[in-house]
Amino acid sequence: MPEGLIVKALSGYYYVSSLDQDGRPVSGEATVQCRARGIFKKKEITPLVGDQVVYELTENGEGMVKEIRKRVTELIRPPVANTTLAVLLFSLREPDLNLPLLDKFLVHIEHAGLDTIICLTKRDLYEGSPSEDDTVLAVQEIYRKIGYEVLVTSARTGEGTAELKNLLAGQISVFSGQSGVGKSSMLNALQPGLTLETSAISNKLGRGKHTTRHVELIPLDNGGFVADTPGFSQLDFLELGVDELSPCFREFQQYAESCKFRGCTHIHEPGCKVREAVEEGHISQGRYDSYLQFYQELKEKKRRY
């Protein structure tokens, strides 16, 4: 039986692209519209976009998913399997750069165990004054110091797009970020001939409308796939426990190991090396402020439930 990759899931159907021996989509072949075996529902298993599957063709030209190969990763939101890389797109303008929200996305991605690229979009809307350039450089410095890849891009001028595309080769990546930051525009710039719908920014609200209604893998011509996912203007910590927050701030780790108390929350305990690192400028004050905000959100969630 043939093997394939689920590239789209919609209304109970799974659209499967055939794969060659190297795991790449077979050029020129249309996807096969498949249903899943009833046994999956009994076992409470849901096929996901990104799953590698074994399927068989049925008499009506459609297919039946018979087996799901073991997953490397599994995201709950967006529901995608086998992603290894997250690209977080945040715009410099329209909407303005929101670092606390970027930090919240990073917490979710760290918890999921994915590698991350931070992609600052809409560089063409920045006027390029010395103060604005200093802001971009400062943001790059904060997150590169932590260990993140940070690209400054413009889908309109092409700045940074070739570098981004090279990093996506051969991987299943998930594109995510606040609504209206230009995810669809960036995908159109990365893949010639792609014509994803883009949206204008609402002047009243300062944010974009969602143009992506479902998760779908978009093939790139370098063997990569990108999951274009619905934008989020808010995230909550549904899957995260309060004790799991600190490890999601990767720059805390080298200091947290030397804290006086095991299980230090890095908020009020004496002998906290993380707070000491903040005071000495080794950890960004803005990142630490995000940590405090998220810690309080998690405590409030725990009280409600």
Secondary structure (DSSP) of 99-118: HHHHHHHHHHHHHHT-EEEE
Q: Is 150 annotated as a binding residue?
A: no
**Superfamily for 3-68?**
Nucleic acid-binding proteins (2.40.50.140)
Q: Is 46 annotated as a binding residue?
A: no
Average confidence score pLDDT of the chain:
86
Q: Is 285 annotated as a binding residue?
A: no
Q: Is 191 annotated as a binding residue?
A: no
**Superfamily for 242-304?**
Probable gtpase engc; domain 3 (1.10.40.50)
Give residue 110's region: left, alpha or beta (phi > 0; psi -120 to 50). alpha
Q: Is 199 annotated as a binding residue?
A: no
Task: Kindly report the CATH number that applies to the domain delimited by 85-228.
Answer: 3.40.50.300
pLDDT band for 27, please (50, 70, 90 cuts). low
Q: What is the CA radius of gyration of the chain?
A: 21
Q: Is 111 annotated as a binding residue?
A: no
**Residues in the chain, overall count:** 305
Residue keyed to tokens 């940070």: 150
pLDDT band for 227, please (50, 70, 90 cuts). confident
Which of 175, 224, 227 is closest to 24 using CA atoms?
224
Q: How far apart are CA 149 and CA 140, in angstroms?
A: 9
Q: Is 182 annotated as a binding residue?
A: yes
Query: What are the structure tokens assigned to 57, written together?
Result: 């063709």
Where does CATH 2.40.50.140 sit in the chain?
3-68
Q: Is 179 annotated as a binding residue?
A: yes
Q: Is 209 annotated as a binding residue?
A: no
**pLDDT per residue as tens digits for the range 28-47:** 567 899 999 988 888 888 99
Q: Is 119 annotated as a binding residue?
A: no
Q: Is 303 annotated as a binding residue?
A: no
Question: 176 and 235 in contact (C-beta within 8 Å)?
Answer: no
Q: Is 178 annotated as a binding residue?
A: yes
Q: Is 181 annotated as a binding residue?
A: yes
Which of 273, 269, 235, 268 is closest to 251 using CA atoms?
273
**pLDDT per residue as tens digits for the range 158-184:** 999 999 999 999 899 998 887 788 888
Q: Is 262 annotated as a binding residue?
A: no
pLDDT band for 266, please (50, 70, 90 cuts). very high
Which of 16, 49, 38, 46 is closest to 174 using CA atoms?
49
Q: How far apart are CA 84 and CA 254, in angstroms?
A: 24
Going by the DSSP 8-state scheme, the letter that residue 83 receives in this structure is -
Q: How far apart are CA 8 and CA 19, in angstroms?
A: 15
pLDDT band for 251, please (50, 70, 90 cuts). very high
Where does CATH 3.40.50.300 sit in the chain?
85-228
Is residue 233 scored above 50 in pLDDT? no
pLDDT at 198: 56
Q: Is 73 annotated as a binding residue?
A: no
Q: Is 272 annotated as a binding residue?
A: yes
Where does CATH 1.10.40.50 sit in the chain?
242-304
Q: Is 121 annotated as a binding residue?
A: yes
Residue keyed to tokens 């790449």: 24
